Amino acid sequence: MDVKIYEYDVVVVGAGLAGLAAARETTAAGKKTAVITKLHPLRSHSGAAQGGINAALGKEDSVELHAFDTIKGSDYLADQDCVELMCNKAPETIRWAEHMGAVFSRDEKGDIAIRPFGGQSKPRACYAKDRTGLTLLQTMYEQAFRSGIEVFDEWYCSDLIYKDGKVSGVVAFNIKNGEMAIFNSKATMFATGGYGRAYKINSNAHANTGDALSIVARHGLPLEDMEFVQFHPSGIGGSGILISEAARGEGGRLFNSKGERFMEKYAPNAMELASRDVVSRAIQQEIREGRGVGPNKDSVYIDLTHLDPQIILTKLPELRELAITFLGQDMLKEPIYIAATAHYSMGGIPVDINCHVRKNPNELVEGFYAAGECSCVSVHGANRLGANSVLEALLFGRHAGESIVKDIDNLTLRPVSIEDAQNAINELTWAKTNNGNERVPALRLELQESMTHNAGVFRTAESLTKQIKKIKELLKRYKNIRIDDKSHTFNTELQEAIELGHMLEYSLFIVEGALARQESRGAHFREDFPTRDDVKFLKHTYAYMDKDYNITQEYADVVLGKFEVKERTY
């Protein structure tokens, strides 16, 4: 196979908020930068963020309160130094985005409008109606493009070039024509987003298959805290398409089939604005105990009919359209069906406070960076607060770009050869020519259904052990797949076959981490260990995979600070 070699100072994989913010910084600093993305940048999943981006802009709010809420929300697993950096820089980040052209909604005084979100002491989610992510994504793309980034859209990153503790770029293929290329660079950054599609009911885009996580793990590098998967309380019943937390922030109320406002039992003070893990478990518990609503009794109601219709029409117009389109229900006139949906990954590629990827808890990889949802700088710990993800992506994406600019003069361009692409070539050739009898969609559905059932909102040793066996069975069957499309042009069947391999591998990290963590903390809830165990598990999980899919784990200390670890109540 003919393999082209491109040379850049910086290669960024992923074109959401984190990737574009980093690329904008490196390009503005005069560094030749390439952005590689499966999609056009404006189709990145950052654009699906609806409700807001957190910053302590309110007169009664403070950076310290933002940090406290974030750490409490994380069930004290977040690293407090990273949280402090994020919260301190949040107001500046909002101003930075605004000065680049982001148009936020305004209050009656003309200030940036803020709304309450779950787990917040004070309202602090700055928003642009209910399409905040798209507003910011469009702004970042315009400014990154203006600064001169080169975008390779519809290119699939299939391998990392990693040798002797240094990353020297990536291998990718052009989805449009099958062309393979090496992108050789001094600095390489992953900003590839999350992995919610490992679950059947999820709020994630079709492209969110978590490829970067498995690519990193295949090189013997660790993944951190993968057991912590957030389930958003309000996905549209049956499909999981997101109804933003903004619906509860503006005053939405949750009811079961008996007409009970059931959050009174689970979070009597915060009610519907408790942290996401608390509300998700409450919803699922009501459904499990037979108080669900809808045709399959697998949802609860969110009711906004008591609100002034103008609030919905001006602040939540997209949410109303989604409910009408996918449920046939108009939230102006009636309550709508919602249920918990797989939404966000707290874990990922471990990085330090300056976004350098870790080789282990004590060593860094040279020339390798990560930011956004695929990374784990651990500002979310065991549970993320709503509107902190958009902040993390934008802020740490920019911060990663700044780190690269500081480091790059001390990084060398290690020469590469076509041999560095051999593993990727072999994988593509195998997927195209393998002549088994298993089909990718069927295997993927089995993975998603079993992950939802055995490693979802509620977990036990029995269900997790069952799921490990299931994934290992699916990995064996995956070796026996066959695809019918042998072409080079837009071969999405081939792409989905490659993606499934990644999904199976990182799912094993989720389940193995969940089985080993014999406690309940944040989004990780073990019914057989229902309490938090700070003596044994106030630790980050670092997990490694060998070539036979065996997972080994070690633990690293959480960075504590001025906020004392205590029981979390809402």
Q: How far apart are CA 355 and CA 350, in angstroms?
A: 9
Residue by residue, DSSP assigns 51-100 as S-EE---STT--HHHHHHHHHHHTTT-S-HHHHHHHHHHHHHHHHHHHHT
Q: How far apart are CA 312 and CA 326, in angstroms?
A: 17
Closest CA to 198 of 514, 489, 537: 514
Q: How far apart are CA 570 and CA 468, in angstroms?
A: 34
Helix (H) or strand (E) holding 325: helix 317-327
Q: Is 385 left (phi over 0), alpha (psi -120 to 50) or beta?
A: beta
451, 199 Cβ separation under 8 angstroms: yes
Give the position of tokens 């403070």: 62
Based on the residue annotation, tell me whether 281 is a catalytic residue of this protein.
Answer: no
481, 443 Cβ separation under 8 angstroms: yes
Q: Kindly report the backbone phi and psi dihedral angles of residue 154, in degrees, each rounded to the nearest multiple of 5, phi listed first.
A: 60, 40
Q: How far apart are CA 396 and CA 402, in angstroms?
A: 9
Q: How far apart are CA 109 and CA 106, in angstroms?
A: 8
Q: How far apart are CA 343 and CA 349, in angstroms?
A: 18
The vertex-316 CA angle with 313 and 319, nearest 5°, equals 115
Q: Is 493 left (phi over 0), alpha (psi -120 to 50) or beta?
A: alpha
Residue by residue, DSSP assigns 369-390 as EE-STTEE--SSTTSPPTTHHH
3-state secondary structure 465-532: HHHHHHHHHHHHHHCCECCCCCCCCCCHHHHHHHHHHHHHHHHHHHHHHHHHCCCCECCECECCECCC
Q: Can you give the C-alpha Rg of the chain in angstroms?
A: 22
Q: Which of the residues 276, 414, 444, 517 is marked catalytic? A: 276
**Separation in Å, CA 534 to CA 68, 112, 226, 348, 537:** 18, 39, 18, 22, 5
**Helix, strand, or coil (residue 138):** helix
* Token pair in block for residue 368: 């390798």
* Token pair in block for residue 260: 């009970």
Chain centroid to CA 393: how far? 9
- Write b or e for each residue in 419-449: b if 16 or more Cβ atoms lie within 10 A of its Cβ, otherwise e: ebbebbbebbeebbeeeeeeebeebbebbbe
Q: How far apart are CA 258 and CA 261, in angstroms?
A: 9
Active-site residue set: 276
